[in-house]
Amino acid sequence: MIQCAPVYIYMPLDLCMTEVSAARLRTPIDTTPSIDIQIQESAIQAIQETLFAAKNPVMFVDGMVKSYHVQESCRTIAHKLRIPVYHGTMGKAVVSETEEYYAGMYQGIISDPHLREAFESSDCALIIGAVECDTNSGGFTRKFPESSIRIDPYEVSVRIPLLN
């Protein structure tokens, strides 16, 4: 997996001035993501089945949508699904507040009570780029439905509750 992240490189003091060959720098690094088409198709099918089976689905967008520059893709998904779209503090302005499906900012217990009730009564959430930190989640009080589809930069997961 190739990704950007803060990196700290510690070098032993006795090697700081040692010359090394630059030959390996001439070999380009392949940054093309490896995508297993069969797994991708299975994920798409599971996402579609979960969303279409829901009676009261919602969409939740957050800060990683901006960090990875996928706002336009999220807007397209929101426009096509036309289900209520909520956002976290860090996801503000991913979807325009003038859109008919815009629902508001959901931050768990500190949310507007009516908005909180509407979100927490949903039976499925499409969660894109959620940032899990205390200041962005109402002190970790957000409650996503048992049935949820979570799309993060390096992982997609579909949670479906077991039937009794």
Within a 10 A sphere around the Cβ of 89, how many other Cβ atoms? 16
Q: What is the pLDDT of residues 60-106, one digit of tens each?
A: 999 999 999 999 999 999 999 999 999 999 999 999 999 999 999 99
Per domain, the residue ranges of the chain are 37-159
Top-confidence residue, 153 or 102: 102
- The pLDDT of residue 10: 77
| Span 37-159 CATH architecture | 3-Layer(aba) Sandwich (3.40)
* Residues 148-153, mean pLDDT to the nearest whole number: 94
78 close to 85: Cβ distance less than 8 angstroms: yes
Which pLDDT does position 100 carry in this prediction?
96
Write down the pTM of the prediction: 0.80
At 84 the pLDDT is 97
What DSSP state is assigned to residue 55?
A: S
Confidence band of 53 (pLDDT split at 50, 70, 90): very high
